[in-house]
Amino acid sequence: MTAAQTAPSPTPTSLPNRPLRVAVLGATGAVGQELLELLDERQFPVAELIPLASPRSAGQSLRWRDQALTIQPVEASAFDGVDVVLASAGGSVSRQWAPVAASAGAVVIDNSSAFRMDPEVPLVVPEVNPEAAFGHRGIIANPNCTTILLTLALAPLAAKRAIRRVVVSTYQSASGAGARAMEELRNLSRTVLDGGEPVSEVLPHSLAFNLFLHNSPLQPNGYCEEELKMVNETRKIMGTPELRLSATCVRVPVLRAHSEAVNIEFHEPFPVDEARALLAVAPGVELLENFEANRFPMPTDVTGRDPVAVGRIRQDLSEPNALELWLCGDQIRKGAALNAIQIAELLIQGPTATPGGAA
């Protein structure tokens, strides 16, 4: 029995087009704070906002839309009458509470890895596979940040020519490890500049003026958990279970934007100009390249912004059927909070919504 099947839900597949009761689970975290900001910025139809967090944070106050809201503890009664739950509190919390919220009639859009590979739970990037969202049974999974950014670049190309193989190297910011890791990067960078010895307490190694291979658990095949997330989630989102994909994930001293170097092999040649034209108009993508000036996407280009910037699209010199490209995207925004809210917006628009309309 899958996780989704343990909590059969009366929830309709779409959300009603009216002001909604919205719960944010994990409201005090980096992604939770971004969710609150985006709900306001995108004028999401909120009738009542219910911030939920651990008992440690319960009772504290936060401001949203000029309101002082009290953070509530997570308990079953907190989901009564809630239309949608935006969850970003970690896998163990989601496994415990998402089925409870779904049984209460809410749609749960979960940012953790708890349900991503559950065959009964849709894994959705609205610009890539919007139709999958409407097959939910109360829970929809938000993909891993690196996977979201990658699929935005792959999908427009795959719609034109089938992809044979993808090799990707990621350059992942501190934000992927949470707000405490971001603060540690700031503090340890000052320590190094002041001539001190940086000692990391949040990450396994100091990220100040340093980088290291991703610290998620290593698996028996030598890949880390983060790398296998990219493989398995990309296959599920794009509906290509046999896609050959290999990833190497690296943590780098950047605050909140991930970058990726991507090699894409097709079954036939793909003209660079054609690929560039497709990506230039792809929803959620911003083409940023100037070969004359050697100017391509950087983390600072996308920090605090919605689009995933793509550039340096070129022919692979070693393989006539392959292209190379580079991309950057804000990990907290499109890599997490924005994608979750776009899923909710898609459910309000209904199954006739187009991928472009969700961006």
Active site residues: 145, 258
How far apart are alpha carbons 181 and 214 in whole angstroms? 13
The strand ranges marked E within 198-350 are 212-213, 244-251, 257-266, 285-287, 308-315, 322-330
- Please say whether the dihedral angle defined by the alpha carbons of residues 282, 286, 292 and 294, taken in this order, is positive or negative: negative
For 291, the enclosing helix (H) or strand (E) is none
The residues that bridge with 23 in the sheet, in sequence order, are 50, 85
Q: What six digits make up the tokens of 186? A: 């700031």
How far apart are alpha carbons 346 and 147 in whole angstroms? 19
Residue found under tokens 């398995």: 232
Question: In sequence order, which residues have a C-beta less than 8 Å from that of residue 160 and are 6 or more positions away?
Answer: 270, 274, 278
How far apart are alpha carbons 105 and 84 in whole angstroms? 9
The residues that bridge with 251 in the sheet, in sequence order, are 172, 212
How far apart are alpha carbons 287 and 276 in whole angstroms? 8
